[in-house]
C-alpha cells in the first residue's frame, strides 16, 4: 500500500467564518479573497491549491509560487581596454552578486550616443574615437521582482 497524500491547510472558510492555521504568517483579504504570505522565504516556493466545495462537487485550482531573491546593485568591471591611434576599445562586464534569474542589458545614459551602448547580455564591447568619449553606458540587471542599474563613463578609457 502507498502512503496517503497529505495536505497542509493555510486557511479554511466555512459559511462567513474563516480560520487561519498560521496566523501572523499570512493575511487573508476578504475583499478579493486573496491570501498574502508575509515575510516570504524560499521555502514558500511550492505548489498551492485553492478549492471550493459546492454540495457534492469541488472546484480546484493549483498555483505554483516562485520566490526570487531581488537583484543586488550591479558592478561594472573592465575586461579589456586599449587606447591607441586616437580610438578606444573596451570590453565591460556587468554583474550582480545576488539575485535569481538575473538578465542584463545595456543602454546609453543619455540618448545622444546613437545606440553605441545598446546590447543584451552581461558583456558590452565598445569601440569609439577618444575625442567623442563624453558619454556613458548604463547596465541594468533585472529579474522578475527587481531591477538595479550601474553606469560607466566612457571618458575613463583615456585614464
| Residue numbers of the domain that contains 45 | 8-65
What confidence tens digit (pLDDT) does each residue in 63-74 have? 889 999 999 999
Write the DSSP symbol of residue 15.
Answer: T
Beta bridge partners of 135: none
In-domain check, residue 2: no
In-domain check, residue 1: no
Q: How many CB atoms lie within 10 A of CB 88?
A: 21
Tell which of 65, 86, 109 closes a domain: 65
In-domain check, residue 28: yes
What pLDDT shows up at residue 125? 94
Q: 31 is written with which cell numbers?
A: 475583499
Shared domain for 86 and 134, answered yes or no, is yes
Shared domain for 78 and 148, answered yes or no, is yes
Mean pLDDT estimate for the chain: 86
Q: Count how many domains the chain has.
A: 2
CA–CA separation, 86 and 29 (whole Å): 64
What confidence tens digit (pLDDT) does each residue in 39-61 have? 888 888 888 888 877 778 888 88
Shared domain for 143 and 95, answered yes or no, is yes
What's the CATH code of the domain at 116? 2.60.40.10
Tell which of 22, 38, 65 closes a domain: 65
Amino acid at each position: 500500500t502507498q502512503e496517503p497524500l497529505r495536505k497542509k491547510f493555510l486557511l479554511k472558510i466555512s459559511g462567513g467564518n474563516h480560520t487561519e492555521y498560521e496566523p501572523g504568517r499570512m493575511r487573508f483579504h476578504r475583499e478579493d479573497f486573496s491570501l498574502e504570505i508575509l515575510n516570504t522565504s524560499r521555502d514558500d516556493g511550492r505548489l498551492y491549491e485553492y478549492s471550493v466545495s459546492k454540495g457534492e462537487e469541488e472546484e480546484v485550482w493549483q498555483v505554483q509560487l516562485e520566490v526570487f531573491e531581488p537583484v543586488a546593485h550591479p558592478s561594472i568591471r573592465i575586461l579589456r581596454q586599449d587606447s591607441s591611434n586616437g580610438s578606444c576599445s573596451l570590453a565591460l562586464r556587468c554583474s550582480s552578486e545576488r539575485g535569481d534569474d538575473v538578465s542584463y542589458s545595456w543602454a546609453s545614459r543619455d540618448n545622444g550616443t546613437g545606440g553605441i551602448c545598446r546590447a543584451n547580455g552581461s558583456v558590452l564591447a565598445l569601440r569609439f574615437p577618444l575625442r567623442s568619449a563624453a558619454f556613458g553606458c548604463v547596465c541594468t540587471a533585472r529579474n522578475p521582482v527587481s531591477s538595479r542599474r550601474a553606469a560607466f563613463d566612457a571618458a575613463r578609457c583615456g585614464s
